């Protein structure tokens, strides 16, 4: 039996990596304390997480940085409600699908990159949107093909229950919509989204359900957000 630990999640409402972790915590039925980083100074947060990135999960006296490391910890420790499929091939497929989002797509499109493009390279709003749309279209085409090649059409990405791949996909689709990406060419991705969004673990993890959900100033660098990372 797993000892109950106090879990504190440091994040922001519009942080999609944090949204992945929130979905996972809800899917596993775990209680946690929401710690809004927007209420801290940069120095205060770096004293907790030297990487300075969000999310981070405090487990008793230890802080785990990076969403993938957090998800792996939750999956290894809280095994009653697994996020990964049962068979090894499907687990590998779910990991590969998710890593395309978390390791290849999200890092190219997040706030730090857009800010650098604007402030250091003097890219226009139109150029930044073109950058974003380019990487989303490449990624989503590959994700759509991955679902097309499954051995059978599961209800969700790689299982008949939502899990690892789905919790990566839904926040990325939400971000793509905020940046006015054309998603019509990805019917399988949208079908998965349709099945997920009404479920409580996804609904409760949405940005607008978080205690620090702010008013938003819309710009191409940062549509629908005022601070932090998406």
pLDDT in tens, the chain (230 residues): 566 679 999 999 999 999 999 999 999 999 999 999 988 999 999 999 999 999 999 999 999 999 999 999 999 999 999 999 999 999 999 999 999 999 999 999 988 899 999 999 999 999 999 999 999 999 999 999 999 999 999 999 999 999 999 999 999 999 999 999 999 999 999 999 999 999 999 999 999 999 999 753 334 444 433 334 56
Give the span between the Cα atoms of 54 and 10, in whole angstroms. 7
**How far does Cα 114 stand from its chain's mean position?**
17
Residue 5: the pLDDT is 79
Residue 46: the pLDDT is 96
Instruction: 43-51: list long-range contacts, CB under 8 Å, 24+ apart.
Output: 45/10, 48/10, 49/10
Backbone φ and ψ of 221, nearest 5°: -70, -40
Residue 227: the pLDDT is 36
Cα 153–Cα 95–Cα 8 angle in degrees, nearest 5: 115
Give the span between the Cα atoms of 71 and 62, in whole angstroms. 15
Give the span between the Cα atoms of 203 and 149, in whole angstroms. 28
Backbone φ and ψ of 53, nearest 5°: -105, 160
Distances (CA, A) of 64 to 7, 211, 230: 11, 22, 19
Using a cut of 0.75, tell me whether the model's pTM lies above it. Answer: yes
Give the span between the Cα atoms of 167 and 227, in whole angstroms. 23
Dihedral sign for Cα 119, 122, 126, 132, please. Answer: negative
Residue 2: the pLDDT is 60
């Amino acid at each position: 039996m797993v000892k109950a630990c106090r879990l504190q999640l440091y994040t922001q409402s519009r942080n999609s990596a944090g949204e992945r972790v929130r979905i996972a915590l809800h899917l596993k039925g775990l209680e946690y304390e929401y710690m809004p980083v927007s209420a801290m100074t940069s120095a205060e947060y770096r004293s907790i997480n030297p990487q300075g990135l969000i999310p981070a999960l405090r487990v008793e006296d230890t802080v785990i940085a990076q969403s993938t490391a957090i998800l792996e910890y939750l999956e290894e420790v809280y095994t009653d409600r697994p996020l990964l499929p049962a068979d090894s091939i499907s687990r590998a497929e779910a990991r590969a699908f998710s890593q395309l989002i978390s390791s290849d797509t999200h890092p190219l499109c997040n706030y730090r990159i857009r800010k650098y493009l604007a402030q250091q390279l003097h890219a226009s709003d139109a150029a930044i949107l073109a950058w974003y749309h380019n990487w989303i279209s490449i990624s989503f085409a590959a994700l759509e093909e991955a679902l097309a090649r499954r051995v059978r059409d599961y209800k969700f990405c790689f299982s008949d229950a939502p899990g690892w791949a789905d919790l990566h996909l839904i926040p990325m689709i939400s971000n793509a919509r905020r940046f006015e990406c054309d998603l019509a060419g990805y019917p399988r991705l949208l079908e998965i989204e349709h099945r997920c969004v009404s479920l409580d673990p996804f609904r409760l993890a949405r940005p607008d359900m978080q205690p620090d959900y702010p008013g938003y100033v819309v710009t191409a660098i940062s549509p629908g957000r005022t601070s932090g990372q998406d």
